Structure 1
Amino acid sequence: MTTLSRIRIGSAPDSWGVWFPDDPRQVPWQRFLDEVSASGYEWIELGPYGYLPTDPEVLAEETGRRGLRVSAGTVFTGLHRGPGVWDATWEHVAGVAALARTTGARHLVVIPAFWRDDKTGEVLEESTLTAGQWRDLTRQTERLAREVRERYGLKVVVHPHADTHIDTEENVTRFLDATDADLVSLCLDTGHYAYCGGDSVKLIETYGERIGYLHLKQVDTRVLAEVRAQELPFGPAVARGVMCEPPSGAPALEPVLAAAQGLGVDLFAIVEQDMYPCAPDAPLPIARRTRAFLRSCGA
């Protein structure tokens, strides 16, 4: 077994069924922190802004006494919509980045906007971008990355995501080829990339210098086939169980982690098993089993 000495394992509120700052179907933040610590993880993400305490002193106290540290904050952006969305985008980003910085985090995960409603499936805009929209997306992402780095000292890692415009191998590589490697890195989510037909190992081997962060996730290929056949939006697909507990799904995580280790750089690999909505007692045993599995992989 190879020791994955360059990989730092963590988990996220997403693995506890948390998608929103406040939702009655989600576990309270105190329970998430208690259980993620009890599962053997030392690193977490902030999740949706406002779920965990936004007071830096309270957050530091609550994470510190449980032996937890923060690896990243997360924001959703619609930068392909042009300069007109910049001010509102920056207002949101700045709040999350400021909180992330106070925790000692070094990364900001940026997720593109959905082109169809995550719950209803209503088409909100075209699923493919025009050339002009691609230019706006890439240029404004570079601007965002530059501002976040200069003002908050964080590295922007863009997260390819189902039902967004950065999803398939074609769109991910187009985005990477059009952005400055010094500014923009990738948060490779193994589950989302497989959901959209991509090969994570191939991407790491081809664009290794652009891989700045990992989300570990697997898809149930049987459920995925149904999702594709029925053209389900991502939210209902998750509720159907399209993202599953490792190591029962795809892609196999051992070769992904080995390829990441081979890059020779320190990387966070944050478990993010989409589970919204889920029974409150479901996440903890899954998290414990997943942590044990990743230890068996050398992480």
Structure 2
Amino acid sequence: MTPPSASRTLAAMTSLSPQSPSSGASRIRIGSAPDSWGVWFPEDPVQVPWQRFLDEVAGSGYEWIELGPYGYLPTDPAVLTEETARRGLKVSAGTVFTGLHHGEAVWDKTWEHVSDIAALTQAMGAEHLVVIPSFWRDDKTGEVLEPDTLTAEQWRNLTSLTERLGREVRERYGLSIVVHPHADTHIDSEENVVRFLDGTDSSLVSLCLDTGHYAYCGGDSVKLIETYGERIGYLHLKQVDPEILADVRANATPFGPAVAQGVMCEPPAGVPALGPVLDAARKLDVDLFAIVEQDMYPCDPDKPLPIARRTRAFLRSCGA
């Protein structure tokens, strides 16, 4: 979204030999997302046009994409199907933002937001809906919007309504929700992620493990996969620059400005090492999407394509 250890990390990663299909490597499907092209909003003059994103993500060697912020890509399924198909692309998931810890009062508004995106996601043949909790401080301005910790009642709201969301989305659209721990939200650190997992029904709620966000918040992705493997339904592959992260923590920098500072970096220069993450995921013996996301909003429009090509080549060296 270039630490001193980058050379050691590179050596460790590139020493991994590609996996054979029988080892389970073929069950991890690699993709990318608008986020890796500096896209955070449906419309923003600093972002690349959606046509350029589709051209470049296909040209980087990816077959799978996410929808990104609703409205960035065409929302007419017929148009989007044509545009993706002629570039050899398929959609793995849509993304929604929720503030379910606020309770029943926000349900109707939340469902209105979710239903449009879920319908498009279903129409595109995808099976997952990535659910990102609302930020407790603004990702652009850093303005504190609410306390950074939840009360016991808010935790009950969050877990029970997320289960309801999982049930409704599955019954109405045939999709599985995967909740995305995220910096500057209430599902962030190992403690809060574990509390959330322990408080929700595994048949209704799975996790989208974003390796970069989890490291940003102090978590160990391999440990989480090994401990809660049955709850991992989706992966976002991302790394953080430890030196910049240390500065971010020291100055309590909000997530948006931290990204502009370069806290999310190009693999394999940061942490966590993605080879061990992929190895741990393979051991789960399930089908998983692993979508590359390197937060870098805002960015020069010519910056993403070379990074995407290098990242895809690097992941191939990890057997993915």
Q: CA deviation at 1:149?
A: 0.2
1:180 paired residue number = 201
Structure 2 CA distance for aligned equivalents of residues 258 and 5 of structure 1: 12
1:266 paired residue number = 287
Structure 2 CA distance for aligned equivalents of residues 123 and 56 of structure 1: 37
CA contact (8 A) 1:44 1:68 kept: yes
1:96 paired residue number = 117
CA RMSD of aligned residues (A): 0.5
Measured against aligned partners, the alpha-carbon deviations of 1:262-299 in whole angstroms (never above 9, x if no partner) come to: 00000000000001000000000000000000001001
Q: Amino acid of the residue matched to residue 187 of structure 1?
A: C
Structure 1 CA distance for aligned equivalents of residues 43 and 119 of structure 2: 21
Measured against aligned partners, the alpha-carbon deviations of 1:104-151 in whole angstroms (never above 9, x if no partner) come to: 000000000000111221111010000000000000000000000000
1:118 to 134, 139, 151: 139
2:201 partner SS: coil
1:220 paired residue number = 241
Question: 1 or 2 for the larger relative contact order (CA 8 Å, sep ≥6)?
Answer: 2
1:279 partner SS: coil
Q: CA deviation at 1:5?
A: 1.9
Q: TM-score, length-normalised on structure 2?
A: 0.93
Name stretches of at least 5 consecutive residues in structure 2 with no aligned partner: 1-16
1:251 to 272, 276, 295: 272
Q: Amino acid of the residue matched to residue 258 of structure 2?
A: A
Q: 1:150 aligned to 2:171?
A: yes
Measured against aligned partners, the alpha-carbon deviations of 1:46-68 in whole angstroms (never above 9, x if no partner) come to: 00000000001000000000000
Measured against aligned partners, the alpha-carbon deviations of 1:134-180 in whole angstroms (never above 9, x if no partner) come to: 00000000000000000000000000000000000000000000000
Q: Amino acid of the residue matched to residue 95 of structure 1?
A: D
- Pairing 1:1-299 to 2, within 5 Å after superposition: 1=17, 2-3=19-20, 4-299=25-320
Question: Which runs of at least 4 in structure 1 moved beyond 4 Å after TM superposition?
Answer: none
CA contact (8 A) 1:5 1:261 kept: no
CA contact (8 A) 1:114 1:163 kept: yes
Structure 2 CA distance for aligned equivalents of residues 134 and 223 of structure 1: 31
Structure 1 CA distance for aligned equivalents of residues 45 and 242 of structure 2: 30
Q: TM-score, length-normalised on structure 1?
A: 1.00
Structure 1 CA distance for aligned equivalents of residues 71 and 248 of structure 2: 31
Structure 2 CA distance for aligned equivalents of residues 58 and 121 of structure 1: 36
Q: Give the paired residue count.
A: 299
Name stretches of at least 5 consecutive residues in structure 1 with no aligned partner: none
